[in-house]
Amino acid sequence: MADNRAVSYMGPGKVEVRDIDYPTFELKDGPGVNPANVGRKLPHAAILKVVTTNICGSDQHMVRGRTTAPEGLVLGHEITGEVIETGPGVEFIKVGDLCSVPFNIACGRCRNCKERKTGICENVNPDRPGSAYGYVDMGGWVGGQAEYVVVPYADWNLLKFPDKDQAMEKILDLTMLSDIFPTGFHGAVTAGVGVGSTVYVAGAGPVGLAAAASAQLLGAAVVIVGDMNTQRLEQARSFGCETIDLSDGEPADQIEQILGVGEVDCGIDAVGFEAKGHGHSGQEAPATVLNTLMDITAAGGALGIPGLYVTGDPGGVDEAAKKGSLSLSLGTGWAKSLSFTTGQCPVMKYHRGLMNAILHDRVQIAKAVNATTISLDEAPQGYADFDSGVAKKFVIDPHGSVAA
């Protein structure tokens, strides 16, 4: 049996590359695995040799100790890989296929899946609808920051690239299809972005940059990105975004200097629950982004919220925040008739279309997010660098496939 190595969360601020079991067609017990999922048979699964797997800001929340993730949890939900074995229930996916793996695990059989709501599949997580690889409270499916990973319901979940050679030429773009590109795109779509829209994206991390690039792809007239990190703001400007530095204060005045008015048509929250207040103090204030977006989004507009919010945050600023309860000015949203969309992006809804946009050179998402390749052994340093705020999207290359 082949060896397998993976990146594991080992406590706040600590990740390690460890030996783990090679995947099989049965979900075994391990850190974070829901007891009701232990022993689950996977005849519908495929085993993939991981070609690329990315470090995500959502992973960083766990690594900072801001969730209830257990030590030993294998990380990684952004996966692209080559099929090397299939279970007896797999009919259409074949050995040798190079595929993108949506970070949502979905059965394809339940009501939500049939309604394209794959982010809240009813059959893969015994605790609640919705699941993902290598993530806290998501059913315990083993993460993909590894050499090999098992993907359940392979015929349904996997998006096969039509030409392997072409795909490898664009692999740094295509690896973004597993999460941040469709997540950013979902944020833009649910914010109502269209031709001629003015858009404000809160946060210039990889998802924020992906949302900004998505807004451009959807025809936005002006995309403004706000952050306090000067490197990340520079990255946003590199592909045509306007930027505002939130360490200089509230965004409305800065938006007015750009647009002539202090509001936008569409607002996107790409920050989530570790948001900080505006100004030089930068103290954590988790409701800041949502309340600001309600203030600066025009009446009748919409807020797309791909930023992560959790129900359990041990490091929350107060008892309410530790339970995911935030002090929102919902009255503002009601008075302005604003629409809100939260939750996991249903990746499959956008998967094939965004793949085609990449393959036909309609978007350069890897350039927009500054994709940077590292080895599996360099992953712990990648986490540390990402946490320091570098303007990079780290892509782990476990087998040297990208380098080759």
The pLDDT score that the predictor gives to residue 108 is: 97
Q: Report whether 121 contacts 28 (CB < 8 A).
A: no
- Low-confidence residues in the chain, pLDDT < 70: 1-2, 280
Beta-strand relationship, 148-151 and 159-160: unpaired
pLDDT at 313: 83
| Residues 386-398: tens digit of each pLDDT | 999 999 999 999 9
Tokens, residue 44: 């519908």
- Homologous superfamily of 5-179+346-396: Medium-chain alcohol dehydrogenases, catalytic domain (3.90.180.10)
Phi, psi of 241 (to 5 degrees): -85, 150
CB of 149 within 8 A of CB of 143? yes
Torsions phi, psi for 396 (to 5 deg)? -85, 135
Domain with CATH 3.90.180.10 in the chain: 5-179+346-396
Residue 1, pLDDT score: 46
pLDDT tens for 50-65 read 999 999 999 999 999 9
Rg value, the chain, Cα:
20
Mean pLDDT of the chain: 95
pLDDT value at position 2?
57
Give the number of other Cβ atoms within 10 Å of residue 95's Cβ.
12
pLDDT at 286: 81
CB 230 within 8 A of CB 245: yes
Superfamily assignment of 180-341 in CATH? NAD(P)-binding Rossmann-like Domain (3.40.50.720)
